[in-house]
Structure 1
Amino acid sequence: MTQRRWQQIMDIPLTIAAIIFLIAYAWEVIANLSGTAMLVAEVVIAITWVVFVIDYLVNLILAERRWFWFRKHLFDLLVVVLPMLRPLRLLRLVTLLNVLQRRAGTAVRGGVLTYAVGSSLLLVFVAGLAILDTERNADSTQITNLGDGIWWAFVTITTVGYGDIYPATTLGRVIAAGVMMAGIALLGVVTATLASWIVERVAAQDELSHVATRREVTDLTKQVAELKHVLLEHATHMAASSGTPAPTSPPTPTPPTEASDRARSPL
């Protein structure tokens, strides 16, 4: 089995594992579980972690250049290793984003925008969970419920940063840095998509203008040819009447084509 084939097989299982993990982790954080419920959530989270570990190890084994693949996918290693830090468990959701990105990469522009919007909403939610999980029990905390966490994540990912709510712990600041970088990256995706759409629209208008111009020039060329034919017939008739030699016909102009337009263009 090739590595590409394994990744295709694991797309859906990894997506399901990431979604199950998100549900279990959200339940654990929002409900502030303890006792048996806490144990159940932790078991579910541990099972999803095993799925991620297996996927990483199989990819490493199937890689043609293992050391190169290992160096190129250090972040994937962090996704597997960092579950010891509870708030950073949400890095597992990067796998879900990677699956969505692979599918959006071959989609039309609308699919890319859908991916960007969906990723933004998902990042806001998981960042709100992570910051709540980190800050809730900290001294001088300003984030005590999910609403505070979502609001903080929203103003952070949009790079607005009102400053009314901010993390008080070191780990919370690490999460904030990641959210800000994700916000900048998503803003770049949206900006690039919009710029691509504008350039495409301008190119389409230019093409329509060139087509219309070529059509008009072709019509004028036909009219000139018809007029030349009439004048030639008249001149021939007059020459026959006066006994002078008949005039010869000049070459008929050739209508311009798209290729000739490009050949004449200085660009």
Structure 2
Amino acid sequence: MRDRPPVSPAQERWDRRMETPLTVTSLIYLAGYAVRILGHGLPPAVRDLCLALTFASWAVFLVDYVVRVRLSGLGVLRFVRHHFLDTAVLVLPLLRPLRIVSVYDRVQRRHDAPRLTLYARVMAYAGMTACLLGFAGALTVYHVEYQAPGASIRTFGDAVWWACATLTTVGYGDVTPVTPVGRLTAVGMMGCGVALLGAVTGSFSSWLIKAFTREDEKGPPGNDTPGAP
């Protein structure tokens, strides 16, 4: 397996500068999408404004993607191959929280003493990601399901309940999507749920192992006292 190409200094500066604006843009995208899906009784002008915000947010991600491709020095195909997650974020900006993969990778590469703050950040980011993805998935499934023939997801509350059961891999089966788009969304959320649970349990277990290893290396109390065998 080939190593990922190094990131250029210009791209690093761009990434740091755009991290907060792009996160805010993701939230604007989510808010516009949510209001448009749930606001059935809103005036057409408000729904059109939400649609405009959604497309404007998407345009911001497109500009960011093009700039990053140019700053990377790679061709488009090589950039897509080595930055698949960024390409997925371009297709669906709501997936931006899935950048936890890169954070989790940095945690696993650490070889020094464990630091609780870093592991706690990973777990907090995983929780935020699960909430955002669950809300986005519930919106998508509700939008395509609530008027479908034979659907069991008729309200947004049903969709939220279904999203929670799917992300936690419980799968009660009391409400299930029946449309192709709903089922495709369910498959994606199942995969995300497994990945997020693995990231949280893996990072927490790794921190515990390293913490107990440090305690074992120190030895029992009293070994450093004069005259101790």
| TM-score category of the 2 structures, normalised to the smaller one | 0.7 to 0.9
CA change 1:118–1:100 in 2 (3 A) is farther
Query: Over the residues paired in the alignment, what is the CA RMSD in angstroms?
Result: 2.5
The corresponding residue for 1:73 is 83
Alpha-carbon shift at residue 209 of structure 1 (Å):
2.2
1:14 corresponds to 2:22: yes
Specify which of 130, 133, 136 is matched with residue 146 of structure 2: 136
Normalising by the residue count of structure 1, what TM-score does the alignment of the two structures yield? 0.71
Normalising by the residue count of structure 2, what TM-score does the alignment of the two structures yield? 0.81
The structure showing larger relative contact order (alpha-carbon pairs under 8 Å, at least 6 residues apart) is 2
The corresponding residue for 1:159 is 169
Match of 1:193, as an amino acid?
S
1:148 corresponds to 2:158: yes
The corresponding residue for 1:203 is 213
Secondary structure of the residue aligned to 2:148 is coil
CA change 1:148–1:57 in 2 (3 A) is same
Match of 1:202, as an amino acid?
F
1:115 corresponds to 2:125: yes
Alpha-carbon shift at residue 99 of structure 1 (Å):
7.6
Written as runs of structure 1 = structure 2, the 5 A alignment for 1:44-63 is: 44-63=53-72
Alpha-carbon shift at residue 120 of structure 1 (Å):
1.6
Alpha-carbon shift at residue 102 of structure 1 (Å):
4.6
Task: Map Cα deviations across residues 135-188 of structure 1 (whole Å, 9 max, x no partner).
Answer: 122111111221111000000111110100000011111100110001100110
Identity %: 32
Instruction: Give the structure with the higher percent helix.
Output: 1
Alpha-carbon shift at residue 122 of structure 1 (Å):
1.7
CA change 1:171–1:34 in 2 (3 A) is farther
Provide the C-alpha distance between the structure 1 equivalents of 2:103 and 2:203, rounded to a whole number of angstroms.
Answer: 16
CA change 1:17–1:59 in 2 (3 A) is same
How many residues are paired up? 210
Match of 2:129, as an amino acid?
S
Task: Map Cα deviations across residues 71-121 of structure 1 (whole Å, 9 max, x no partner).
Answer: 2234533543x4xxxxxxxx2122244289659957522212211222122
CA change 1:103–1:202 in 2 (3 A) is closer
The corresponding residue for 2:180 is 170
Specify which of 26, 31, 36 is matched with residue 34 of structure 2: 26
**Structure of higher CA gyration radius:** 1
Task: Map Cα deviations across residues 42-93 of structure 1 (whole Å, 9 max, x no partner).
Answer: 111111011011011111111122242132234533543x4xxxxxxxx212
